[in-house]
A = this chain, B = another copy of it.
Amino acid sequence: MIPIRWSFDKRELDSWAGLIYVIAMLLNPRLSAIWERRSIRAYTGTPIPDEVIADLLRAAMAAPSAAAKDPWRFVVVQDRAMLRRMAEALPHGRMLAEAGAGIVVCGDLSVAHDGQLSYLLQDCAAAIENLLIVAHVLGLGACWLGVHPREARIDVLRSLLRIAPPVLPVSVVAAGYPAEQKEPRTRYDSRYVHHEQW
């Protein structure tokens, strides 16, 4: 699949070498998952095999973490009744009702490097991004639902899933076999890039 909405600099197309490079990039199967990963909110209802769930978690835990403290923790919810309760309780979380799984990504503040919330959030977010990429590669669609810093969402998950401090819910990843398709893309914006100094 070629990401036809993928942006590139006109400058790159001014030479044959540049053009060939861009085409090689676009067709590189090891890169395409990065552009193809999109937020998917509609699912077919097909159950996700246990091996696939395990692979998502292996990918998540292959991320780097500050001082290799690996503060990430996961609650995998597949019970339909609980997914429906989470869907009702979480703003923008309606798709959880139909998802094959809701993976609640938490961080343990007592384990995070130097007990810093900042590191906990960065470590968990890196793990989540890995999880989302591999979900796509394995044929799933997934969507990152923000939880932290919304106190009401944190409290709901604590109460539904018995997540107690120092463990902090950071997000829920809804995942399932996709019932919608989106085109590959980047939101690259050259105005966000500075060279040598701001």
Q: Give A contacts to B, CB under 8 Å.
A: 6-9, 12, 18, 21-22, 25, 28-35, 37, 39, 51, 54-55, 57-59, 61-64, 66, 68, 70, 72-79, 82, 113, 116-119, 121-126, 128-130, 132-134, 137-138, 144, 146, 148-149, 161-164, 167, 170-171, 185-189, 192-198
Please state if A186 and B58 are interface contacts (CB–CB under 8 Å).
Answer: yes
Taking CB atoms, residues of chain B closer than 8 Å to A12 are: 51, 54
List 12 extra interface pairs beyond A58-B188, A121-B125, CB under 8 A: A8-B58, A30-B33, A57-B188, A70-B187, A73-B192, A76-B195, A76-B196, A118-B121, A122-B146, A122-B170, A125-B129, A133-B133
Asked if A51 meets B18 with Cβ closer than 8 Å, knowing A34-B62, A132-B64, the reply is: yes
Asked if A186 meets B64 with Cβ closer than 8 Å, knowing A130-B34, A197-B161, the reply is: no
Please state if A189 and B75 are interface contacts (CB–CB under 8 Å).
Answer: no
Count this chain's copies in the assembly: 2
Q: Distance in Å from the Cβ of A194 to the closest Cβ of chain B?
A: 5
Taking CB atoms, residues of chain B closer than 8 Å to A8 are: 54, 58
Taking CB atoms, residues of chain B closer than 8 Å to A34 are: 59, 62, 130, 133-134
Please state if B62 and A186 are interface contacts (CB–CB under 8 Å).
Answer: yes
Most buried by B among A12, A29, A33, A72: A33
Q: Distance in Å from the Cβ of A26 to the closest Cβ of chain B?
A: 11
Q: Which residue of B lies closest to A17 (CB)?
A: B51
What are 19 A-B contacts defined by CB distance under 8 Å?
A: A6-B58, A8-B54, A30-B30, A31-B59, A57-B188, A59-B186, A61-B192, A70-B187, A70-B192, A72-B192, A73-B193, A73-B194, A75-B196, A76-B194, A117-B149, A121-B121, A121-B125, A161-B196, A163-B198
